[in-house]
Structure 1
Amino acid sequence: MRRGSAPTPHTGSRKERGSPAPSSDLRITHDAGPPSSAGAPEPVLTGPVRRLRVATLLTSGVVACVLLAAVHVTQGTAAVNAFDVLGLLFGSDDQAAANILTASRLPRVLAGLTVGFALGIAGALLQSLARNSLASPDTLAVNAGAHFAVVLAAVIGLALPTLFAGALATIGGLTAVGLVLVLSAGGASGPTRLILAGSATTLALHALTMVLLLLFEQETTGLFAWGSGSLVQSNLDAVRQMSLVIVVAAAAAIAIGHRLDILALGDDTAATLGVAVRRTRLTVTLLAVVLAAAAVTIAGPIGFVGLCAPAIVRLLAPRVPGLFRHRVLLPASGLAGIVIVLGADVLVRAVVNAQAGVDIPTGVVTTVFGAAVLVTLARRQRDSGPTRRPPAARTGQSRSRRRFWLVLASCVAVLSAASVAALLLGDTVLLTGDVVNWINGESGRAITFVLDARFPRVAAALLAGAALALSGVAVQAVCRNPLAEPGLLGITAGAGIGAVSLLTFVPTAGVLMLSSVAGAAALLTFGLVYALAWRGGLNSDRLVLIGIGVWSGGSAIITFIIVYSDPWNVAKALTWMSGSTYGRTLPQVMPLVIALAVLIPVVVLARRELDLLSLDDDTPRVLGVRLEGTRLVILVGAALLASTAVSAVGVIGFVGLVAPHAARALVGARHARVIPVALLLGAILVSLADTIGRTVISPAQIPAGLLTAMVGTPYFVWLLWRSRA
């Protein structure tokens, strides 16, 4: 099959296969073979649509939605049951029950209906646009962009009407998805790059959103739980106004469904058959973002519905011929989205008590479910995009020994200056003489109090940065992927689940127990990711995609634990999930000292193996390296380093990405040189982030993790842009 020149996969012209002339009988479906490298099955022509099966499927979906809605309106904190609802339907004059239904339950169930329908169709459109089964409003950062725009409006104090808020959310979503598609070449370079670009953009927007939530707590009251996707509605205004937008956008998408059918054959073929390819792509992108933004305006970013709904529909395709025709696929995906959203809301309120069902965001449940779907889809991917080239291939020419020593000395000098600045700066600015007197035990009571509290924070930042950087060195070498880092492999999410669970349910637990539980949870999570990614060998792209899925699910579980156990303590949630050294003591820092003291020599001794593993699988075997055993030991060490850092300072992202890559750029790819430089750079990055965070808006503070995310994400985006060809 001759490939065309359009910047998306499967764009080849089908003239050699005898492409048919345009006709109303054109049918598009997908074969049942293995997925292609871009993550979407190859489109083929098929026979007529089985209309009876399609009608049966759609009718079944409508019935399922009605049944879930009927169950949904009987759930809640008030004593209104199914018999009361039936009584109202048949003319009962129970005014109390009527008020509860109209003021609370009907707005919530209608929000679930509209949001699920919108996200299901938006996900199907984005997957068709990118020709990638992993595309969705979440993985393409549409929801994150819309969420940030809404929070920004609240911070500024804009009391926008619902329609204008929806328009603002649409602008935010369009900006985010545009950046993601540019960085991933429209998805043509494979699912790994697409999901990495979406994850980076999402993390950057999430970091900015968290900063706004922390700094403007009064103006953004209630937006934390809403930020995970909540169906709680105070009235019908938002649903009433945005439902009109959703209906119009959905109708427009279904109306151009035949163009998407033809576009599935490839851009060249579609152009030959008279489809305006560029105009269609722009229209589809706009409609998908409008639908997702409308859903965010109503209920916040409910995660992964746009990924799961089309995936569930596609699973039914072998039994329902013609289901991939977009005029059937889109409404079917919308119905599946309703089932997912209402089903998740019904489930969470059935499993936990009624009040917790109100407090726990529906998006937490859908994100956990969606993460499982993402992992399942990732296990089927076969990607050989440019991100699989080893780190050594990107570092350019080797660096001289003199350059290495110069860089090392410069890093030591910068680290020393950063450490001194960290001790001196904060809500109370000190002098170097104060520090000298404190060391000698001659400082006054006020100075002693400040430095006794500040020194553990400085030590925690330095040691956590070094641990995360060393973990990133190991992960990138083993995965042969310079875009990988411990956080994106799910390690830090696992450690976070363990630590938050212990802090929540055993608040009197000591430091040793906290570190042990976090380390064990990180190892279990890593073992899960490793096992899921293993299919006759370890594929680095599959490992990263599965890790992102586990990371997303783990973050949702952390939110669930915090909201369920202490729904009013938003500061606790934000502080832990954003990474902070606030309130750290020396006993909490000691596990980091021990972990680094044990594992730095291990990684240094394995520097030759790291050099070989970063090349390919064959070279280590030829030179006598036991590939799988060595790889497993190194990754276990990386998991221990990351988990210890998380137990000490919370979740701090991107340090394990930026520090190793910057080290390779400065001193070359040999790990004998990369390891010490990366250790120093990681310590510098977290230390500076912590110092800036507790100084610039003193006495208020910005968690170090948010600042590292805002620094690391642009660097990550630059890496994707540089290697986009």
Structure 2
Amino acid sequence: MTLTAEPAAADSPDLPKLDAEPKASLRLVLVVVGLLALVVALAAVHVVQGTATVGFGDLWAWVTGGASEQASAVIVDSRLPRVAAGVVVGIALGAAGCVMQSISRNMLASPDTLAVNAGAFLALTAAATVGLPGILLGDLVLAFIGGLAAAAVVFGLAGTDYGTVRLVLAGTVVAMVLMSLATTLIILNPMEARGIQAWESGVVSQNGFDGVRLMAPVVVACLVVLMFYARRLDVMVLGDDAARSLGVPVRQTQLVVLVLAVVLSAAAVTLTGPIGFVGLAAPALVRLAAPVVPGLHRHRVLVLVSGLAGVAIVLAADVLIRAVVGAQRAVEVPTGVVTSLLGAMVLVWFAYRLRASRLDDASNALDVRGLGAKHPWVLVVVLSVVLFALCVAAVLIGDRMFLLGDLVNWATGQAGPIVTNVMGARVPRVVAALLAGVALAVAGTAIQGVTRNPLADPTIIGVAGGASVGAVVVVTLVPLASFWALAGASGVGALVAATIVFGLSARGGFATDRLVLVGVGVSFAAKAIVSLLIVTTDPWNASKALTWLGGSTYGRSYEHLVPLMIAIVVLVPAVMVGYRYLDLLSIDEDTPRVLGVRPGPARLMLLTCAVLLTATAVAAIGLVAFVGLVAPHAARSLVGRRHLRVIPVAALLGAILLVLADLLGRTVAAPTQLPAGLLAALVGAPYFFWLLHKSRRKA
């Protein structure tokens, strides 16, 4: 599958030289001057915003040398380091995203979508939690190693066809796994990781100029080297073969430029944390202006202008935060929350505007030959026995171990107070994991069948993210609301997200690229909104909200599971009844019509069931990734593509996966408990990578 944009006129190699186009030169100068003026204006506003009162008059007095000692101290010691950090980080991320897009020929490539920022953050988190020296340049080296390793994994998974959204999809999932690992380290080392979690979304505030003084020369040096490679990047726009024929060492250039981009990203992460999507939005917006600003496509100009645009985005995001929530509360709001929202909108906009097709044009990726298709119900019995045995083990194993006799005594009402209390807390958690695994697996099966998309998952395509927004709104704003209100809000959030994702993706018949890309954008937007809700509300409610985001069964009781139980009892049979519709819809768009089935109503009914199952699962235990992806695929590999067999097998596999994840989360680091969602991501991600590697295109 490919995703391409209409070629911009400014990308043509036959354009006249810049000095032969006076109008083009003037237009380019106006763009640069305009951006510089915008940056200066934003910097001025940025300086006068804060908890201490400093106005434009004080700023002008400081510039002219007549400011008071107190105003000068505030400007120099607090405000200017913040502005300087925004400038350094904006230039670094804008330039890094620009050259990443060039070497991959993918307008959606960036330090975020290629997992560079996540790899750098994981390396720094690991260093902080194990007690490595915190020298800033040492941090830069660690961040560089982590970012480069992450980028290597992403390019390895994506294959040689860099121009497709496969690169973005691989990077997004790698980033998800790396951030899960970082979160796990933070949970296991809470004292050593103090401050890291707030830094995770990117914070521009600085304590003096020390960090800026160390990172600025690194950024400048990388930009200087990139200028020497600018002409090669211009030629490489023509394609690898044409570039080689003109004497450009393509692979060597790509490797050197990638290393420089990773160094720029690592410097930004080291200074402020991973500020999201500046490296995507800044160069993408600049490239959109290239058709009307001839000469802007030349990399010596494009890289620098993208850096300026990055500065404008970072400063504008920080100014907007302080203008909306106030200076005092803005201290707690990461700058990356606003830039992530911008990046999510850019992703969705590109997905809607660009042409897309499927990952597998040669064959339907859902059409597999199941290994257990001859005896499917024997497999169901075996999986049921495995699930029962796993549930028994999950009840007996934990920070306090029990014997099978203790379970029997508890079940018959003859257990002592210790066994009764522990079992009363542990059994509902096992039941919650089992039910949520069933719901997410059946939802994933329905979504993959209806959209004919082998990579669809309630989490990846944003439905679960929308549900989490609804749940966290209730948790943070109405902490005493009933669980039914929580489930209802989660359902509304999921329906809104599903309407956006499926509505935009329906154009072109749910093409894989567009569906996944819109879903990823909605997921990022949902995460940013949730982060904003958490940091701007009562901190006592924040810990409760974070429980949903980690996918934890901690503190679940039977009353919390009633909406999920009802959803499973009503909606899973409804999906089972519609198995013939799923069989037909998963083939193509014409077969159902030929057989008298209207695709629209059938698709709406099945997607509604999937969305409500996802919403109730998120309301019950929070955000859990990959269960809805892995379970349906594994089921099809066992029993074939007929959904009468796939649905029950997928449900059992989903329950097994989540119960196992919850068991591991409660035991591997006891008494510390890891959220089941993190363990499920670590278990499910390798399977996703295998699917992506299996379906990637050959050169």
Equivalent residues of 2:371, 2:638 under 8 A apart: no
Q: State the alpha-carbon separation in 2 of the partners of residues 93 and 58 from structure 1.
A: 31
Partner of 1:102: 76
Q: 1:161 aligns with which of 135, 143, 157?
A: 135
* Structure 2 portions without partners, runs of 5+: 19-23
AA aligned to 2:44 is A
Deviates more, 1:481-490 or 1:498-507: 481-490
SS at match of 2:48: coil
Equivalent residues of 1:360, 1:564 under 8 A apart: yes
Equivalent residues of 1:190, 1:385 under 8 A apart: no
Q: 1:720 aligns with which of 685, 692, 695?
A: 692
Partner of 2:658: 686
AA aligned to 1:356 is R
CA drift at 1:251: 1.7
Partner of 1:299: 272
Change (3 A) 1:328 1:392: closer
Q: Does 1:146 align with 2:127?
A: no
Q: State the alpha-carbon separation in 1 of the partners of residues 88 and 194 from structure 2.
A: 25
Change (3 A) 1:177 1:569: farther
TM-score normalised by L of structure 1: 0.92
Equivalent residues of 1:189, 1:385 under 8 A apart: no
CA drift at 1:393: 4.7
CA drift at 1:314: 1.7
Q: Does 1:66 align with 2:40?
A: yes
SS at match of 1:489: coil
CA drift at 1:713: 0.8
Partner of 2:388: 416
Partner of 1:251: 224
Equivalent residues of 2:551, 2:621 under 8 A apart: yes
Q: Does 1:174 align with 2:161?
A: no
Equivalent residues of 2:58, 2:67 under 8 A apart: no
Q: Does 1:503 align with 2:475?
A: yes
Partner of 1:21: none
Q: Does 1:77 align with 2:47?
A: no
Deviations 1:417-446 (A, max 9, x none): 111011111222122222222222222222
Q: 2:532 aligns with which of 534, 553, 560?
A: 560
Partner of 1:697: 669
CA drift at 1:684: 0.7
Partner of 1:542: 514
Q: State the alpha-carbon separation in 1 of the partners of residues 253 and 608 from structure 2.
A: 48
Equivalent residues of 2:476, 2:541 under 8 A apart: no
CA drift at 1:147: 0.7
Q: Does 1:47 align with 2:16?
A: yes
SS at match of 2:310: helix
Q: State the alpha-carbon separation in 1 of the partners of residues 434 and 351 from structure 2.
A: 35
Q: State the alpha-carbon separation in 2 of the partners of residues 132 and 61 from structure 1.
A: 24
Q: State the alpha-carbon separation in 2 of the partners of residues 119 and 569 from structure 1.
A: 34
Change (3 A) 1:624 1:541: farther
Change (3 A) 1:621 1:43: farther
Equivalent residues of 1:54, 1:328 under 8 A apart: no
Partner of 1:322: 295
AA aligned to 1:321 is P
Change (3 A) 1:130 1:536: closer
- Superposed, 1:173-192 pairs within 5 Å as 173-188=147-162, 190-191=164-165
Q: 1:607 aligns with which of 576, 579, 582?
A: 579
- Superposed, 1:632-643 pairs within 5 Å as 632-643=604-615
SS at match of 1:443: coil
* Aligned-pair Cα RMSD in Å: 2.0
SS at match of 2:238: coil
CA drift at 1:181: 1.2
CA drift at 1:646: 0.2
Partner of 2:500: 528
Q: State the alpha-carbon separation in 2 of the partners of residues 630 and 341 from structure 1.
A: 45
Equivalent residues of 1:210, 1:574 under 8 A apart: no
AA aligned to 1:438 is W
CA drift at 1:283: 1.0
Equivalent residues of 1:580, 1:705 under 8 A apart: yes
SS at match of 2:132: coil
Equivalent residues of 1:257, 1:326 under 8 A apart: yes
Deviates more, 1:159-168 or 1:298-307: 159-168
Q: State the alpha-carbon separation in 2 of the partners of residues 482 and 695 from structure 1.
A: 33
CA drift at 1:401: 2.7
Change (3 A) 1:147 1:568: farther
Among the aligned pairs, what percent are the same residue? 51
Q: Does 1:425 align with 2:425?
A: no
Equivalent residues of 2:460, 2:516 under 8 A apart: yes
AA aligned to 1:692 is L
CA drift at 1:286: 0.7
Equivalent residues of 2:129, 2:193 under 8 A apart: yes
Partner of 2:94: 120
Q: Does 1:336 align with 2:305?
A: no
Q: State the alpha-carbon separation in 2 of the partners of residues 253 and 451 from structure 1.
A: 62
Partner of 1:14: none
Equivalent residues of 1:127, 1:136 under 8 A apart: yes
Equivalent residues of 2:104, 2:163 under 8 A apart: no
Deviations 1:680-715 (A, max 9, x none): 011111111111111222221000000000011111
* Structure 1 portions without partners, runs of 5+: 1-7, 11-28, 34-40
Deviations 1:261-306 (A, max 9, x none): 1000011111111111111111111111111111111111111111
Partner of 1:205: 178
Q: State the alpha-carbon separation in 2 of the partners of residues 527 and 66 from structure 1.
A: 40
CA drift at 1:89: 2.3
Partner of 1:462: 434
Change (3 A) 1:75 1:389: farther
SS at match of 1:418: helix
Deviates more, 1:493-502 or 1:164-173: 164-173
CA drift at 1:66: 1.0
Change (3 A) 1:59 1:44: same
Equivalent residues of 2:368, 2:637 under 8 A apart: yes
Q: State the alpha-carbon separation in 2 of the partners of residues 535 and 656 from structure 1.
A: 24
Q: State the alpha-carbon separation in 2 of the partners of residues 668 and 430 from structure 1.
A: 40
Q: State the alpha-carbon separation in 1 of the partners of residues 48 and 189 from structure 2.
A: 37
Equivalent residues of 2:626, 2:684 under 8 A apart: yes
Deviations 1:213-258 (A, max 9, x none): 1111111111111111111212211111111100110121122111
AA aligned to 1:46 is L
AA aligned to 2:499 is G
Equivalent residues of 1:388, 1:481 under 8 A apart: no
Equivalent residues of 1:356, 1:564 under 8 A apart: yes
SS at match of 1:487: coil
Deviations 1:117-154 (A, max 9, x none): 11111111111111111111111111111111110110
Q: State the alpha-carbon separation in 2 of the partners of residues 252 and 121 from structure 1.
A: 12
Change (3 A) 1:392 1:137: closer
Q: Does 1:380 align with 2:353?
A: yes
Q: State the alpha-carbon separation in 1 of the partners of residues 257 and 247 from structure 2.
A: 17
CA drift at 1:187: 4.1
SS at match of 2:353: coil
Aligned positions, number: 692
Q: State the alpha-carbon separation in 2 of the partners of residues 588 and 424 from structure 1.
A: 22
Deviates more, 1:550-559 or 1:380-389: 380-389
Q: State the alpha-carbon separation in 2 of the partners of residues 632 and 305 from structure 1.
A: 36
Q: State the alpha-carbon separation in 1 of the partners of residues 411 and 371 from structure 2.
A: 43
Equivalent residues of 1:387, 1:483 under 8 A apart: no
CA drift at 1:624: 1.7
SS at match of 1:509: coil
Q: State the alpha-carbon separation in 2 of the partners of residues 646 and 409 from structure 1.
A: 28
CA drift at 1:93: 5.7
Q: State the alpha-carbon separation in 1 of the partners of residues 595 and 548 from structure 2.
A: 44
SS at match of 1:442: coil
